[in-house]
Amino acid sequence: MEYLSGDKIRLEITVLDLKGEEEAPEEITVSAYDKDETVLLDAGVPKLSADTKSCYYYDWVLPVVVKKSEFTIAWDWTGPHRKKTEITVVPTVEN
């Protein structure tokens, strides 16, 4: 997915158990890194969506970039669990 530099985006995840049912972790965080593994978002604490057991969201304002950049979004929760997603952020004005 591509987003514009400086956009506010909503990161979302639903945590499921091995049976595919919602399972609420004791703790959950979200972090973001660039290709050089520089931390852009450090262990943000997401909010639980209303009327759910394990659907979480985090509203994040993307950093301003001067060239097209790829970021890794990493969700971590209690236990040996982690989910990663790749996003692309492009400058608001291409050079």
User: Of the candidates 10, 5, 1, which has an alpha carbon nearest to the alpha carbon of residue 90?
Assistant: 5
The model's pTM is 0.79
CATH number at residue 26: 2.60.40.1930
* Tally of domains in the chain: 1
Provide the pLDDT for residue 81: 65
Q: Measured between alpha carbons, how far is residue 35 from residues 46, 54, 72, 86 in Å?
A: 23, 29, 8, 10
Provide the pLDDT for residue 2: 78
Residue 95, in any domain of the structure: no
Q: Which domain holds residue 70?
A: 2-90
**Along the 95 residues of the chain, how does pLDDT read in single tens digits?**
778 888 888 999 988 888 888 888 889 999 998 888 889 899 899 999 999 989 999 999 988 876 788 888 899 887 656 677 777 676 665 54
Residue 47, in any domain of the structure: yes
Provide the pLDDT for residue 30: 93
